[in-house]
């Protein structure tokens, strides 16, 4: 069985106020790509990855009268994708939802947020933590509450899936170098708090003896910025929990943590205008519990330039570049 995570940039802009696909020759929110071009590219990528379930990060909006599920299921129906069902959890105000598209013939899925406790609230709640070591309890919220799902495969394997999109560390709104440093540090503090909250939920679920998968865009990677040393650990390290009782595993994260020099896996590609070049980063992960790791786990990053099969298939390569600034990550499991 194949699971995947895919951050689809500006997916929301391909749908109208009634959740209908806009597939025309007007420009999409992606640079120099039409809405038809981006929509067709997304469908081509989803078809090629052919996952039984794919977590969509930055899924279409669910605010007001909008429906993420209707938009995604309509998209799947238009292109004849087998991931024809969709499910989401708590809506947010960012117009970037977290949802799962899946093949209902391969698995059953239900939204299953774990009950909150005073120390580990539900993901739509408020988490108390001292962010800046001033002996004052700060309140942290997820702008995009993680999606919690209980899944049962057709072979009867049950597992819990958490889909996450952590806060970006980018210093949006900064006007000078001082602003950049202040905002970047504040954003990293908030992201680390979200990672601690997520790790607490992982430990909670681990007591249920249920196989666990955590996937999505964590907006962080080991050594990704100069402020990591200030806080000691990256969000990725916190969520992996390698030094704890319930560690998760992701080979790409493990390689990045153990290897500071040489080529590293990447899952995203951004244009840096002032430098006139692309920046590649490892931001998207599929972390699994040790019991799932023993089920023939095999990961793949569908990178158009680094994956030989993607590079050799010109149509798929072009679709991956046109569809988003992130690339899918998949895992195959014998479940």
Q: Are strands 138-140 and 147-153 parallel, antiparallel or unpaired?
A: unpaired
Contact 163, 149 (CB under 8 A): yes
Cα–Cα distance measured from residue 164 to residue 240, given in angstroms and rounded to the nearest whole number: 13
Specify the residue for token string 């819990």: 160
**Which burial class, exposed, middle or buried, applies to 47 when counting CB atoms under 10 A from its CB (0-12, 13-18, 19+)?**
middle
Cα–Cα distance measured from residue 282 to residue 234, given in angstroms and rounded to the nearest whole number: 13
Query: E strands along 239-327, which residues?
Result: 268-272, 277-281, 284-288, 298-301
The reported pLDDT for the residue numbered 228 is: 55
* Cα 306 to Cα 223, 283, 319, 320, 322, distances in angstroms: 21, 16, 15, 12, 16
* Cα 288 to Cα 34, 163, 295, 298, distances in angstroms: 37, 12, 11, 11
The reported pLDDT for the residue numbered 170 is: 57
The helix (H) or strand (E) run that includes residue 204 is helix 177-206
Q: Are strands 329-332 and 53-59 parallel, antiparallel or unpaired?
A: unpaired
Nearest to 255 by CA among 230, 288, 221, 280: 221
The reported pLDDT for the residue numbered 185 is: 74
Cα–Cα distance measured from residue 47 to residue 79, given in angstroms and rounded to the nearest whole number: 9
The reported pLDDT for the residue numbered 234 is: 87
Name the CA radius of gyration of the chain, rounded.
19
According to DSSP, residue 198 is labeled H
The reported pLDDT for the residue numbered 171 is: 54
The reported pLDDT for the residue numbered 92 is: 94
Query: E strands along 120-262, which residues?
Result: 127-129, 138-140, 147-153, 158-165, 212-217
Query: E strands along 135-222, which residues?
Result: 138-140, 147-153, 158-165, 212-217
Cα–Cα distance measured from residue 76 to residue 83, given in angstroms and rounded to the nearest whole number: 7
* Torsional class of 243: left (φ above 0), alpha (ψ -120 to 50), beta (otherwise): alpha
* Cα 273 to Cα 135, 276, 278, 307, distances in angstroms: 41, 5, 8, 26
**Domains detected in the chain:** 2-332 (3.60.10.10)
Q: What share of the chain has pLDDT > 70, as a percent?
A: 90
- pLDDT tens, N- to C-terminus, the chain (335 residues): 999 999 999 999 999 999 999 999 999 999 999 999 999 999 999 999 999 999 999 999 998 899 999 999 999 999 999 999 999 999 999 999 999 999 999 999 999 999 889 889 999 999 988 876 666 788 899 999 999 999 999 999 999 999 999 977 555 555 666 666 656 677 788 899 999 999 999 999 999 989 999 999 999 865 555 555 555 678 999 999 988 889 999 999 999 888 776 788 999 999 888 899 998 999 999 999 999 999 999 999 999 999 999 999 999 999 999 999 999 999 999 99
Specify the residue for token string 């698995």: 107
Cα–Cα distance measured from residue 234 to residue 195, given in angstroms and rounded to the nearest whole number: 9
pTM: 0.93
Contact 101, 83 (CB under 8 A): yes
The reported pLDDT for the residue numbered 177 is: 65
The reported pLDDT for the residue numbered 230 is: 53
The reported pLDDT for the residue numbered 274 is: 87
The reported pLDDT for the residue numbered 324 is: 98
Contact 183, 170 (CB under 8 A): no
């Amino acid at each position: 069985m194949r699971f995947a995570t895919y951050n689809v940039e500006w997916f929301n802009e391909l749908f109208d106020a009634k959740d209908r696909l806009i597939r025309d020759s007007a420009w999409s929110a992606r640079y120099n790509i039409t809405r038809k071009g981006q929509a067709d590219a997304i469908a081509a990528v989803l078809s090629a990855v052919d996952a039984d379930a794919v977590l969509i990060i930055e899924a279409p909006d669910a605010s007001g009268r909008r429906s993420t599920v209707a938009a995604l299921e309509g998209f799947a129906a238009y292109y004849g994708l087998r991931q024809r069902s969709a499910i989401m959890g708590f809506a947010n105000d960012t117009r970037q939802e977290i949802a799962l598209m899946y093949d209902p013939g391969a698995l059953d899925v239900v939204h299953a947020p774990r009950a909150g406790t005073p120390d580990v609230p539900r993901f739509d709640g408020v988490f108390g933590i001292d962010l800046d070591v001033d002996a004052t309890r700060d309140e942290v919220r997820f702008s995009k509450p993680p999606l919690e799902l209980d899944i049962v495969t057709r072979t009867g394997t049950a597992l819990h899936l958490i889909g996450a999109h952590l806060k970006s560390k980018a210093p949006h709104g900064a006007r000078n170098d001082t602003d950049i440093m202040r905002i970047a540090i504040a954003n990293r503090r908030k992201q680390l708090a979200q990672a601690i909250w997520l790790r607490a939920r992982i430990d909670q679920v681990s007591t249920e003896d249920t196989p666990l998968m955590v996937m999505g865009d964590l907006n962080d990677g080991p050594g990704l910025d100069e402020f990591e040393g200030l806080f000691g650990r990256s969000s990725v390290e916190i969520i992996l929990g390698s030094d704890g009782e319930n560690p998760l595993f992701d080979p790409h994260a493990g390689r990045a943590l153990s290897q500071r020099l040489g080529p590293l896996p990447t899952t995203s590609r951004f244009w840096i205008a002032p430098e006139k070049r692309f920046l590649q980063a490892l931001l998207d992960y599929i972390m699994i519990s040790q019991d799932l790791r023993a089920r023939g786990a095999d990961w793949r990053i569908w990178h158009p330039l680094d994956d030989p099969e993607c590079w050799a298939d010109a149509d798929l390569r072009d679709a991956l570049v046109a569809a988003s600034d992130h690339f899918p990550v998949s895992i195959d499991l014998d479940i």
